[in-house]
Structure 1
Amino acid sequence: MSLDQSMPDQEASLARSTQRSQEIEAEIQKDPSKFRILTGDRPTGHLHIGHYFGSLQNRVRLADLGIDTMVLIADYQVITDRDGVGPIRERVYSLLTDYLAVGLDPRTVTIFTHSSIPALNQLMLPFLSIVTDAELRRNPTVKAELDDTGDRPMSGLMLTYPVHQAADILFCKANLVPVGKDQLPHLELARVIARRFDERYGRADEAQQVFPEPEALLSRSGTVLGLDGQKMSKSKGNTIELRMSADETAKLIKRAVTDSDRHITYDPVNRPEVSNLVNIAALALERDPFEIAAELGDAGGGGLKKLATEAINEYFAPIRARRAELEADPGYLASVLADGNARANAIADQTLAEVRTAMQMRY
């Protein structure tokens, strides 16, 4: 298929996913108990405001609505594209602290780590048997890795990364996954694996299926760029981390890229750096970015940065205060993770038992 042919297909698929996400939102309002969500992050660095406005805020909203929510700290996935784990213990607990500080309630939300759930990872074996090498290599993340590796061989774990993600979703029978549009191919493979497993092992009857086919809930938030106008990324050092102080935030925003035009407008296409700061301020103030830009008028980059700094620091002050309290109680953090791992293990063991039964491997 040519690029010209594939683009309309992608656009049509995105339109369908967007429409279905709107329908799911309506269903959530009627009966949140029918859903289980799986979401999470790789502990490769510290979470930042892009993570917060892009996903964490929405996770809290969905959990507060009463949806059964599973949050994965994907520690095994750190080594898919790295030679080591780095300061992984510190980063795992940093993620956990951020999750609790932003409002995820460990009494109702299950927070767990990959490496603590053996039965989840064991699902990789039957799942790998029902996908092909070609299907894995067509996955956008794997393709990007192949293009970027140069002479360096790609690891087997990187090649099977999409299957590992499918195991993350299916081990707990999550039927809803909050994603951005670039993550839809990963979710589609999880749907394919769920369907193929039940077809191969004689459970095509919906009432007898081991795995539900998970659906996407597309993110409602736009992308928050980094302070240099590029994609906000832990690896680029262009982020405002949730753990940063008000002074650190002010210094970073002061160095943010703008332009020479003193008149502030919200125009993401033609003025991405200025518009990004306007957007950050608008998100923190929970207001429309066009209104923010109009009020700033000829305030220039200095006025814009002052407003963005004040808005971010005021918005995140209670989250930062709660984070400091949590950091001071490492015993509590360890107990939250232990409880979450225990809950996830019970779910994974039950699912693996069902898988082994379907495969006639219960001895």
Structure 2
Amino acid sequence: MSLTEQGLPDAEASLARSTERSHEIEADIAVNPGRYRILTGDRPTGHLHIGHYFGSLQNRVRLASLGVETYVIIADYQVITDRDGVGPIKERVHSLLTDYLAVGLDPREVTVFTHSAVPALNQLMLPFLSLVTDAELRRNPTVKAELDDTGDRPMSGLMLTYPVHQAADIMFCKANLVPVGKDQLPHLELARVIARRFDERYGRSDESTPVFPAPEALLSASGTILGLDGQKMSKSKGNTIELRMTADETAKLIKRAVTDSDRHITFDPDNRPEVSNLVNLAGLCLGRDPQSIAEELGDAGGGGLKKLVTEAVNDYFAPIRARRRELEADPGYVASVLAEGNARANAVAEQTLGEVRSAMQMAY
């Protein structure tokens, strides 16, 4: 019996299927990591913070160490999808790369590159755009939210085609696995649609294998970490603890974190989200169940909770911060890692574009 036949709405049934498949893939990675190629990355719009670490960076390091081929894109072109300029982009690109290296991404195992340095990747946008409709793009949740929020400001063409650009990111290296949160599943589904439509329209005259594999989702297992003000953690809101911050800076931020007036500490995300968020953060850093931490704190109050969180965060990130300081002192090495990653990504992208041109009978 299908999930929809069991009474689940289409969206819930789709998420349930994606979750089930993600569990199957996770189990297979432990045995057959060489079957998978991952594409993941970040926009260089600010400095990475602990939400990024526990939400994605930690998992990237784990997957790469298991032997999964990993590509990490610093999506510099995507900065201007919803902004009037690039800002201090060079500094932010190098900051992201420094964080990647500090948390343990090994450039011998992972290819890190930038959008703007890989022309063949961006050239894939042209044939891909011919495979989707304006209506399909406007139904994409990210595009739709931007359209709803723009007011009188026109949405840029780059914002409208943002999901297609993401598909090009995934498919230039023929990634068959993308770590995502559930809110990003519609983006991945469009990439799957483009892969299928390209094969249906062009295919390969001499092979049965499609040009592009249909990428699958590896759903994030980590829960959401709120900002220190109890709202969604965001670079733009200034409610984050950045990976590059010192122990003293971290302590000052946590001291200002929002709690409540009840001295008895409990882990109750629904009714006490701010307190529970801090308890959860301590649990992530200590490798412990947040419920047991709350029970141990008891009547320690907000002060006791913040003291524990400060110690846990600073102890956990001390080696990462020490490594980051070493990397900051050697900018030449960081630049060389990016240059080597860009070169590898270009070689892969050129090969893929050559296959696309051949399939489209445009190899003159």
Fold shared by both chains (TM-score > 0.5): yes
Task: Give 1:7 deviation, angstroms.
Answer: 8.1
- Name 1:116's counterpart in structure 2: 117
Match of 1:228 in 2: 229
Change over 3 Å in CA distance of 1:360–1:240 after alignment to 2: same
What is the rounded CA distance, in whole Å, between the counterparts of 2:353 and 2:316 in structure 1?
A: 43
Question: Are the equivalent residues in 2 in contact too, given 1:54–1:223 (CA < 8 A)?
Answer: yes
Stretch of structure 1 that moved more, 75-84 or 10-19: 10-19
> 1:205 deviation in Å?
9.6
Could you say what secondary structure the match of 1:152 adopts? coil
Equivalent residue number for residue 318 of structure 1: 319
| Cα RMSD for the two superposed structures | 1.2
SS of 1:208's equivalent in the other structure is coil
Q: In 2, Cα distance between the equivalents of 1:198 and 1:99? A: 35
Change (3 A) 1:65 1:224: same
**1-side partners of 2:181 and 2:8: how far apart?**
18
8 A Cα contact 1:131 1:193, kept in partner: yes
> How far does residue 204 in structure 1 lie from its aligned partner after superposition?
9.6
Q: Does 1:63 align with 2:60?
A: no
Distance, in Å, in 1 between the alignment partners of 2:284 and 2:69 is 27
Q: Are the equivalent residues in 1 in contact too, given 2:205–2:359 (CA < 8 A)?
A: no
Instruction: Give the SS at the match of 1:84.
Output: coil
Alignment partners' CA distance in 1, 2:64 and 2:153: 42
Instruction: Determine helix, strand or coil for the equivalent of 2:344.
Output: helix
| Secondary structure in 2 matching 1:96 | helix
Using structure 1 for the length normalisation, give the TM-score.
0.97
Matches within 5 A, 1:1-363: 8-203=9-204, 207-363=208-364
Aligned-partner residue type, residue 202 of structure 1: G
Kept in 1: contact 2:41–2:75 (CA 8 A): yes
Aligned residues: 358
Q: Give the CA deviation at 1:203.
A: 3.9
CA distance in 1, matches of 2:205, 2:21: 24
CA distance in 2, matches of 1:115, 1:324: 27
SS at match of 1:196: helix
Q: Give the gaps of 5 or more residues in structure 1.
A: 1-5
User: What stretches of structure 2 of length at least 5 have no aligned partner?
Assistant: 1-6
In structure 2, how many angstroms separate the alpha carbons of the residues matched to 1:26 and 1:268?
29
d(CA) in 1 for partners of 2:10, 2:89: 40
Distance 1:106 1:280 in 2: 29
Q: Is the 8 A contact 1:190 1:214 kept in 2?
A: yes
Deviation at 1:30, TM superposition (A): 1.1
Q: Shift of the alpha carbon at 1:336?
A: 0.1
Contact preservation (8 Å) 1:198, 1:204: no
Measure, in 2, the Cα distance between the counterparts of 1:82 and 1:355: 31
What is the identity, as a one-letter code, of the residue corresponding to 2:71?
M
- Please report the TM-score for the alignment, with normalisation by the length of structure 2: 0.97
The C-alpha deviation readout for 1:57-98, integer Å capped at 9, x for no partner, is 000000000000000000000000000000000000000000
Q: CA deviation at 1:208?
A: 2.5
- Counterpart residue identity of residue 346, structure 1: A
Q: Find the counterpart in structure 2 of residue 3 from structure 1.
A: none
